[in-house]
Amino acid sequence: MRPPATDDTTGDRIDQLMQRYDGAVPGASLLVVRDGEAVVQRGYGLSDCEAGIEAGPATNYRLASLTKQFTAAAILLLAQDGRLGIDDPVREWLPTLPPAADAITLRHLLTHTSGLVDYEDLMAPDHPGQIRDAGVLQLLEREGRTYFTPGSAYRYSNSGYALLALVVEKASGETFPQFLRRRIFEPLGMHDTLAYASGGPEVPHRAWGYSPADAAASDATGGRWTRTDQSPTSAVLGDGGIYSSIGDLARWDAALYDDRLLDDASRASAFSAQVEVTGEPWQAGYGFGWRITGDTLWHSGETIGFRNVIVRWPQRRLTVVLLSNRNEPEPYRTALAIGELFLDH
């Protein structure tokens, strides 16, 4: 059923933009928040193709790199508590890192300017099981080089955010999932959101990830899909391990407008371009876990079987979140097009 806050024309245009996700295929959940009200909150397609379960507002997707905004928020909360400083050397917290990391600070990790080598490139092709954040540290302990002098350039780094999760643990005395739940998820009422790894608490209302088994599968009208839900890197939490729903992300979005979690200074740092993004197919700056393009704050997330995006127009009090349990299509431009329908009003 179409939400009452959207007129028929807008609803029809949204359905057209989301058509590829609809039907008996891996689907998506879509959220539009305008002036604090969820004017669109619905699912398309299936969250579990084998069981025929439809996607909906409560479906929990692996957020992939949308996780980074929560990891950054955890660091900022600890800085507000006086437990750490944003410009602390990372080796102050993780002293087993090699001398090549001497000049790297937590700020460098937050802004992808550390020069750390990608842990995915350091893993053996036959890596047994799944690597975790501590395993990322072990790989980097043996790496005596960086891509560039820390602070001198930008290069997107999953390694950096894995290390930030370990810093959260060191500074808080809790596991990363425990800290997120106590300081962010529970206070905001995000009761179904969690940092998930195999063997931990199960994900409620879980969406399973899929990839096209053939070229036709990318067309929502047909083709076959294969469940591709986990990879050897899927248990790393700091860079991409959170599962959440659009319902819970509406609560997260609301908290970013006031000081119930982050104070004015922390939000200003997170939402300001600290560095220019390079080597990516869009023009943006990067704050702490957020890209900044024009008047938007946004981040995408991609991992095996999932493609997600959140786009916020804070001056217009508008947010679009599109979470999907499939490798394609890329959702960023779809979210922008949906946002434009409401910016015109």
Q: Structural domains in the chain?
A: 8-67+177-343 (3.40.710.10), 70-173 (no CATH)
For residue 178, pLDDT beyond 60? yes
Confidence of residue 2 (pLDDT cuts 50, 70, 90): very low
By CB atoms closer than 10 A (0-12, 13-18, 19+), residue 99 is exposed
Average pLDDT over residues 31-53: 97
- Angle between helix axes 158-172 and 67-80 (nearest 10 degrees) is 40
Average pLDDT over residues 231-255: 96
pLDDT of residue 215: 60
Rounded to the nearest integer, the mean pLDDT of the chain is 94
For residue 221, pLDDT beyond 60? no
Which of residues 170 and 198 earns the better pLDDT score? 170
Strand order in the sheet with 291-293: 37-44, 28-34, 318-324, 306-313, 296-303, 291-293, 285-286, 275-276
Asked, as a colleague might, if the bond just before 4 is cis with ω within 30 of 0, I would say no
